[in-house]
Amino acid sequence: MSRSAHPAGPRHADVLPEGHYTAPADDLNALDPKVWAHTVGRDADGVVTVGGIAVTQLAEEYGTPAYILDEADFRDRARAWRTAFGTDADVFYAGKAFLSRAVVRWLDEEGLNLDVCSGGELATALSAGMPAERIAFHGNNKSPGEIERAVRAGVGRIVLDSFQEIVRVAHAAESLGKRQRVQIRVTVGVEAHTHEFIATAHEDQKFGIPLADGQAAEAVRRALQLDGLDVIGIHSHIGSQIFDMSGFEVAAHRVVGLLKDVRDEHGVELAEIDLGGGLGIAYTSDDDPREPHEIAKALSEIVTRECEGARLRTPRISVEPGRAIVGPTAFTLYEVGTVKPLEGLRTYVSVDGGMSDNIRTALYDAEYSVALASRTSDAEPMLVRVVGKHCESGDIVVKDAFLPGDLAPGDLIAVPATGAYCRSMASNYNHAMRPPVVAVRDGAARVIVRRETEEDLLRLDVG
């Protein structure tokens, strides 16, 4: 980490304000491959290209703001996860990061499974032809209607999140004459975020059934007695944007402890453990995520070691990456509308989107980087804050970054690593129309989710 409140190099103000930013890169025109999708580069004119298409052309055809998704990169990353975990483990893409029918088809073709957490996500998955047995259904308060639809469709697993749900799913399965495969989601008292994890975190959260006070063991006890349920394993998800594997180590230790207790009490060795998702990506050049094959190796070693210690057969592992697959594959393309220098502070750059297409900065204080995309520039770096056009002062897209000092209205700028939790969390605040997702591959672009229109907004308003 090379954060500094006094970045070296040229700057546009004598005194830099307090902030959490890195020194400007030596070359502001360079595109760090860590944060940009695989096929992103610049053409001979200095324009950013993706999949062989210039962003100026994309802006002209599809307008701004727009999410531009590198399909080849998405497939590469999905395949890398699939290959890393091999045939002895399952990879479930977490649909909540970003889901569309095109994405479902890519996942299907690349051999991944899919997590959904609502009736809407389930409907999208099924309508795109994802085989139901490769779908896992999550959520802490699935409605009876959602449960029935999932059981009827034949989803591969439902992840049970409460005592009430154990009964509800069993009841739904029995009344349909089925036996539903289920996992029980436990909270292991580990909380992991980015570079730190807390092994003694309180189980003070809405997800899962606490392990520490014996509730998880009781949940297994009850579920095993119900004819409608086929208890296949235990599920644990410990956090998000995780780089440090030690949180998984503690989680696996505790989950395997439960498997051992279940074996001792019921004579049943549960066949699967799901370690959830949460693997981190590079939002800025300071982040160093691990490769899927390193993660697969680490998780497999951890689980094998724990099971040997407990004299258990090693269960089948599953993982649920969302962000790590789709996050780096897309960037948001904006047009600069106004440039407002505040002497001694920073320059506010307003774009034609904002918190309606990326709520993560306002919600989580997330960090992003940004680049001038429609041209290169040799102008001195200036400290900027990229803000949206919404009526809210917290409407910030990129809190602190450097852009060339000659940035002007009409320039296109691009914010990388917006593939996850941006379109899926987008809103209509200020009656903004949610941007399209444009997939680019081998010199061809196509809209996979179209831009909302005023007619879309007015259609819901039945007045």
- The span of 250-258, 309-317, 320-328, 401-409 binding ligand PLP (CB under 6 A) equals 320-328
Q: Quote the CA–CA distance of 41 and 439 in Å, as a whole number.
A: 16
Quick check: 323 binds ligand PLP (CB under 6 A)?
yes
Residues 220-249 as x/- pattern, contact with ligand PLP by CB under 6 A: -----------------x--x---------
Identify residues 36-95 at the interface with ligand PLP (CB under 6 A).
94
Active-site option among 117, 307, 391, 422: 391
Binder among 135, 234, 259, 324 for ligand PLP (CB under 6 A)? 324
Q: What angle do CA 119, 123, 126 make, to 5 degrees?
A: 135
Compute the least distance from the CB of residue 118 to ligand PLP, in Å: 12
In 154-214, alpha helices (H): 163-175
DSSP type of residue 287 = -
Q: Quote the CA–CA distance of 367 and 382 in Å, as a whole number.
A: 18
Strand partners, 330: 69
Helix, strand, coil fractions of the chain, as percent rounded to 5: 30, 25, 45
Contacts of 341 (CB under 8 A, 6+ apart): 12, 347, 348, 382
Select 262 or 279, whichever has its Cβ closest to ligand PLP.
Answer: 279
Q: Do 36 and 410 meet the contact criterion of CB atoms below 8 Å apart?
A: no
Residues 111-140 as x/- pattern, contact with ligand PLP by CB under 6 A: ----x----------------------x--
Select 140 or 300, whichever has its Cβ closest to ligand PLP.
Answer: 140
Select 360 or 385, whichever has its Cβ closest to ligand PLP.
Answer: 360
Distance of CA 18 to the CA centre of its chain: 30
Compute the least distance from the CB of residue 388 to ligand PLP, in Å: 23
Quick check: 321 binds ligand PLP (CB under 6 A)?
yes
Q: Which amino acid is at 173?
A: A
Quick check: 208 binds ligand PLP (CB under 6 A)?
no
**Residue carrying the six token digits 């992103």:** 40
Residues 395-434 as x/- pattern, contact with ligand PLP by CB under 6 A: -------------------------x--------------
What are the tokens at 222?
A: 């009850």
Quickly list DSSP for 356-417.
TT--HHHHH------EE-SS---SPEEEEEEE-SSS-TT-EEEEEEEEETT--TT-EEEEES
Select 64 or 358, whichever has its Cβ closest to ligand PLP.
Answer: 358
Burial state string for 351-360 with b = 16 or more CB within 10 A and e = fewer than 16:
bbbbbbbbbb
Select 237 or 254, whichever has its Cβ closest to ligand PLP.
Answer: 237
Binder among 37, 58, 66, 97 for ligand PLP (CB under 6 A)? 97
Select 278 or 404, whichever has its Cβ closest to ligand PLP.
Answer: 278
Distance of CA 311 to the CA centre of its chain: 35
Quick check: 162 binds ligand PLP (CB under 6 A)?
no
Q: Is 422 in the active site?
A: no
Residues 270-299 as x/- pattern, contact with ligand PLP by CB under 6 A: ------xxxx--------------------
Select 96 or 389, whichever has its Cβ closest to ligand PLP.
Answer: 96
Binder among 292, 322, 353, 435 for ligand PLP (CB under 6 A)? 322
By annotation, the residues acting in catalysis are 391
Residues that bind ligand PLP (CB under 6 A): 94, 96-97, 115, 138, 237, 240, 276-279, 320-324, 420
